Amino acid sequence: MEPEQKETVNKRDKQSQKEALSAVKNAFELAIYVDNVGSAQQKKFTMGDEALFPTLRDDKDLRIYRKKINPEALLPGGPFSKWPASDPSIKVKDLYEAFGRYPDMPKLVNRQVVINTIEEAVSRGLLALRYMPPGGGEDWFWHSPIEGIVDWADFAEVWLPAKATITKVHRAAVQPAALAGLWPSNDSLVKLSAICAWFDGEHVFEEVAQPGYPPEKRPIPKADYKLVHQAIAEAVEHAEIWLVFGNDSLLGDKPTDLQLDPDASLLRPPVRLRAVDLLPGALAAAWTGKPEKTTISKLYSELKSQKGKAWPTRQFIDVLNEAVNQGILVRASGGPEFTSVNADGERELRVPAAGGGTPPPLPKPSAGANETTEAALDLVQLQDFVEEGAPALTKILAGSTPEFAVKIRLKGKKPADLAGANAILKKINSDWKFGS
């Protein structure tokens, strides 16, 4: 073949390749899809720097979902609902398969989109989920996370709460945040019998679906009162609900069956006590003598009288031990940490002994002892140390007895009322004062 002929053939081949590549590119920029009324449509895309799939995914006409859908859209009456008429439940598998079966439904990147949506609906209390593994049995989830099950989507069905009778109540489902509109909005109590009555299949809770709009009424499923008792017991044990029954006050301890009485009072957890709330300046009637002394039972009795109700004994004992570990209080006769109000009721406490005049400087640390460097703290830092730092340190430094040396240094002009300041300091330690 002559050179001129070869050149002509090469040009023709290059042109054919160019046309073929253009055709392929045009084919990839053309999408065929089914719209929301079932009609086949086509749409031309102009490819830019972004890859093909993200370009298609972000197009509104193609209706491709990749994360989750508003859960209310799947409920009866919602725009994406394929809930069988008059049926109180539907299999999870049928819910996500409906997106591929019906043309009016949007398309999904994968089934995880529906799974994520159902998880949100169950945690918000919009749906109840019944898990039925092949081996038998069942497990229910409502107003709670779906925990401890990997394959739940393959063997579960979702129920309308108003039609469901659940056989498990999660501790998250009985708390004030879950049953808004029924629990008092303030720190008032509610009886255990009242919470059990809320699970009669007739009550609703309130959910603020959109800020600024009235809350939505959401049905509560039906459940046996024994299941509610179990959920309350777990919430009390996890210090999420405070239970008071007679002289018993529990927060962080598991209640007994006797304490789970229908007349037991349930409250939101109180603000945590501080060590200074137990000192003579705060509970003067419980302390006597110089240096002041008291017993565990006297201190707890005065605290109960001042607060107007039996205080959580676990919290009380924990704060007492922290106060001793911080050197704020002293066990009069030594001994181990306090364990309970009943067991340690007659054990004595006292404020640290104080010498006359100016408190003596701390002794130099003995061999093997340790002390921190000195630091100047402002009021915010000091508060952080008392509320967070000191309790955390006492746990980490268990076995040793920390001592705290505190000095207040004033800058600028001398205040006019040092006597008033000294009166405040004296409530904490009789020898703590500003010099003249």
Residue 364, pLDDT score: 52
Give the pLDDT band (50/70/90) at residue 434: confident
- Yes or no: say if 149 and 131 are a contact pair by the CB < 8 Å rule: yes
pLDDT tens-place string over residues 77-88: 888 888 888 899
- Yes or no: say if 34 and 103 are a contact pair by the CB < 8 Å rule: yes
Q: Please determine, for residue 368, whether its predicted confidence score (pLDDT) is greater than 60.
A: no
Which of 114-118, 234-238, 382-386 is the most confident on average? Answer: 234-238
List C-alpha distances in Å: 117 to 87, 158, 219. Answer: 20, 12, 19
Closest among 107, 3, 4 to 60, alpha carbons compared: 107
Give the pLDDT band (50/70/90) at residue 23: low
Residue 389, pLDDT score: 73
146, 152, 156, 160 alpha-carbon torsion, rounded to 10°: 20
- Residues 227-231 have a mean pLDDT of 98
Higher pLDDT, 109 or 171: 171
Residue 362, pLDDT score: 46
Residue 420, pLDDT score: 77
Share above pLDDT 90 across residues of the chain, in percent, rounded to a whole number: 43
pLDDT tens-place string over residues 155-164: 999 999 999 9
- Yes or no: say if 403 and 362 are a contact pair by the CB < 8 Å rule: yes
Closest among 270, 385, 410 to 328, alpha carbons compared: 385
Residue 109, pLDDT score: 67
